[in-house]
Chains A and B, each alone.
Chain A
Amino acid sequence: MLEKTNVKILDKVVVRFSGDSGDGMQLAGNIFTNISAGIGNQVSTFPDYPAEIRAPQGSLSGVSGFQVSVGTGVYTPGDQADVLIAMNPAALKQNVKFLRPNGVIIVDIDSFKESDLKKALFETNEPFKELGITAQVLEVPVTSMTKNALAESGLDNKSMLKCRNIFALGLVCWLFDRPLESALHHLKTKFAKKPAIYEANAKVIQAGYDYGHNIHASVSTYRIESDEIKPGVYTDINGNTATAWGLIMASEKAGRPLFLGSYPITPATDILHELAKRKDLGVKACQMEDEIAGVCSAIGASFAGNLAVTSTSGPGLALKSEGIGLAVMAELPLVIIDVQRGGPSTGLPTKTEQTDLMQALYGRNGECPLAVVAPATPTDCFTMAFEACRIAVEHMTPVVLLTDAFIGNGSSAWRIPEADEYPEIKPNYVPEELKGNWKPYIRDEKTKVRYWAIPGTEGLAHRLGGLEKDAVTSAISTDPINHEKMVYTRKEKIERIADNIPALEVSHNVDADTLLVGWGGTFGHLYTAAEELNKEGKPVAFAHFRYINPLPANTAEVFAKYRRVIVAELNTGQFADYLQSKFPEVKFERINKVQGQPFLVKEVIDGVTKIMEGK
Chain B
Amino acid sequence: MEETKYTAANYKSDQSVRWCPGCGDHAILNSLHKAMATVGVAPHMTAVISGIGCSSRLPYYMNTYGFHTIHGRAAAIATGFKVANPEMTVWQISGDGDGLAIGGNHFIHAVRRNIDINIMLLNNKIYGLTKGQYSPTSDRGFVSKSSPYGTTEDPFIPAELVFGARGNFFARSIDVELATTQEVMVAAARHKGASVVEILQNCVIFNHGIHNHITDKEFRADRTIHLRHGEKMIFGKEQNMGIVQDGFLLKAVEIGKDGYTIDDVLVHDAHCQSNFLHQQLAMMDGYDLPLAVGVIRDVEGLTYNEEIDKQVAEVRAKKNFTSLRDMILAGETWEVK
CB distance from B258 to the nearest CB of A (A): 49
Q: In the complex the two chains form, is A40's CB within 8 Å of B80's CB?
A: no
B276 within 8 A of partner (CB): no
Which one, A235, A323, A418, contacts B332 given CB within 8 A?
A: A235
In chain B, positions 38-52 with a C-beta closer than 8 Å to chain A are 42-45, 47, 49, 52
CA distance A229 to B316 in the complex (A): 34
**Complex alpha-carbon distance, A322 and B102, angstroms:** 13
Residue of B nearest to A296 (CB): B76
Asked if B87 and A456 make an inter-chain contact with CB atoms under 8 angstroms apart, the answer reads yes
Nearest-Cβ distance from residue A251 to partner chain B, whole angstroms: 9
> B45–A299 contact, CB under 8 A?
no
- CA–CA, A44 and B316, complex, Å: 33
User: Once the chains bind, are B88 and A456 in contact (CB under 8 Å)?
Assistant: yes
Contacts of A249 in B (CB 8 A): 324
Residues from chain B with Cβ under 8 Å of A284 in the complex: 83-84, 308, 312
Bound Cα distance from A22 to B315, whole angstroms = 32
Query: A259–B324 contact, CB under 8 A?
Result: no
Also in contact, A293 and B106, with CB within 8 A (given A286-B83, A462-B66, A466-B68): yes
Residue of A nearest to B78 (CB): A300
Binding stretch for chain A, among B55-63, B195-203, B248-256: B55-63
Cα distance A245–B64 when bound, in Å?
35
B85 touches A456 (CB 8 A): yes
Given the interface pairs A300-B80, A464-B67, the reply to whether A231 lies near B337 with Cβ below 8 Å is yes
| Contact flag A456-B77 (CB < 8 Å), given A231-B336, A232-B335 | no
A76 CB within 8 Å of chain B: no
A501 on interface, CB distance cutoff 8 Å: no
- Tell me, in angstroms, the Cα distance from A460 to B333 when the chains sit together: 46
Question: Contact size class for B?
Answer: 35 or more
- What CA separation (Å) do A282 and B70 show in the bound complex? 29
Cα distance, A233 to B52, chains bound together (Å): 52
- Give the residues in chain B near A467, CB-CB below 8 Å: 68
- A289→B108 CA distance, assembly (Å): 10
- Complex Cα spacing A266 to B324, Å: 26
Q: Which of chain A's residues has its CB closest to B18's CB?
A: A476
Residues on B with C-beta less than 8 A from A303 are: 47, 65, 67, 77, 81
B252-285 vs A: 1/0 string, CB under 8 Å? 0000000000000000000000000000000000
Of all chain A residues, the one with the shortest Cβ separation from B86 is: A304
Complex Cα–Cα for A466 and B311 (A) = 34
**Nearest CB of B to A43, in Å:** 12
A129 at interface (Cβ–Cβ under 8 A)? no
Q: Is the CB of B105 within 8 A of A456?
A: no
In the assembled complex, B130 has its CB within 8 A of some CB on chain A:
no
A304 and B334 in contact, given A245-B328, A289-B105, A462-B65 (Cβ under 8 angstroms): no
| Contact call A465/B83, Cβ cutoff below 8 A | no
**How would residues 239 to 263 of chain A score, 1 for a CB under 8 Å from any chain B CB and 0 otherwise?**
0000001001100100001010100
- For A290, what are the chain B residues with a Cβ–Cβ distance below 8 Å? 105
Residue of B44, B77, B332 touching A236 (CB-CB under 8 A)? B332
The smallest beta-carbon distance between B88 and chain A, in angstroms, is 6
Chain A CB count within 10 A is highest, among B13, B42, B59, B336, for B336
Q: Do residues B69 and A299 form an inter-chain contact, with CB atoms below 8 A? A: yes
A459 contacts which of B44, B59, B70, B79 (Cβ < 8 Å)? B44
**B314 and chain A: residue at smallest CB distance:** A279
Contact present for A475 and B15 (CB under 8 Å): yes
* Chain B residues numbered 80-121 whose CB sits less than 8 Å from any CB in chain A: 80-85, 87-88, 105-106, 109
Bound complex: CA of A613 vs CA of B323, how far in Å? 54
Q: How far is the CB of B130 from chain A (nearest CB, A)?
A: 15
Q: Which residues of A contact B83 (CB under 8 A)?
A: 259, 284, 286, 297, 301
Is the beta-carbon distance between B73 and A292 smaller than 8 angstroms? Answer: yes
Interface residues on A, range: 35 or more
What's the least CB distance linking B326 to chain A, in Å? Answer: 9
Asked if A279 meets B312 with Cβ closer than 8 Å, knowing A301-B81, A308-B80, A461-B43, the reply is: yes
**Residue numbers in B under 8 Å from A466 (CB-CB):** 52, 68-70
Consensus secondary structure, chain A interface: mixed
Residue A463 contacts which of B66, B88, B327, B333 (CB distance < 8 angstroms)? B66
Contact of B80 among A289, A297, A476 (CB under 8 A): A297
Q: Are the CB atoms of A234 and B80 closer together than 8 Å? A: no
Are A304 and B47 also in contact (CB < 8 A) when A234-B334, A249-B324, A292-B73 are? yes
| A435 close to chain B: CB less than 8 A | no
Contact of B331 with A by CB under 8 A:
yes
| Nearest CB in chain B to that of A37: its residue | B334
Is there contact, CB below 8 Å, between A300 and B66? Answer: no
- A300 touching B79 by the CB < 8 A rule? yes
Residues of chain A within 8 A (CB-CB) of B5 are none
**Known contacts A235-B333, A301-B81, A304-B81: does B67 contact A458 (CB below 8 Å)?**
no
Q: Which of A230, A233, A282, A460 contacts B334 (CB 8 A)?
A: A233
Verify A281–B311 contact, CB threshold 8 A. no
Q: How far is the CA of A419 from the CA of B327 in the complex (A)?
A: 12
Chain A residues within an 8 Å CB radius of B63: 461
Contact of A463 with B13 in the complex, beta carbons under 8 Å: yes
> Does B106 contact A455, Cβ atoms closer than 8 Å?
no
B1 to chain A, nearest CB (A): 23
Q: How far is the CB of B314 from chain A (nearest CB, A)?
A: 9
- Compute how far the CA of A302 lies from the CA of B77 in the bound complex, rounded to whole angstroms: 10
- Name the interface residues of A433-454: CB closer than 8 Å to any CB of B: none
Question: B332, A458: Cβ atoms under 8 Å?
Answer: no
In A284-321, the 8 Å CB interface with B consists of 284, 286, 288-290, 292-293, 296-306, 308
Q: List 15 A-B contacts (CB under 8 A).
A: A232-B336, A233-B329, A234-B333, A252-B323, A286-B80, A289-B105, A296-B106, A299-B77, A300-B67, A305-B84, A416-B328, A455-B81, A461-B44, A464-B67, A466-B70
6 tightest CB-CB pairs across the interface, nearest first? A300-B80, A297-B80, A465-B68, A301-B84, A296-B76, A304-B85
Q: Which residues does B use to contact A, with CB under 8 Å?
A: 13, 15, 42-45, 47, 49, 52, 59-60, 62-70, 73, 76-85, 87-88, 105-106, 109, 308, 311-312, 315-316, 318-319, 321-325, 327-329, 331-337
Give 19 new A-B contacts, CB below 8 A, not counting A288-B109, A326-B69: A37-B334, A231-B337, A235-B332, A235-B334, A257-B84, A280-B319, A284-B308, A289-B109, A296-B77, A296-B106, A297-B80, A300-B82, A301-B83, A303-B65, A304-B84, A415-B336, A456-B85, A461-B63, A462-B66
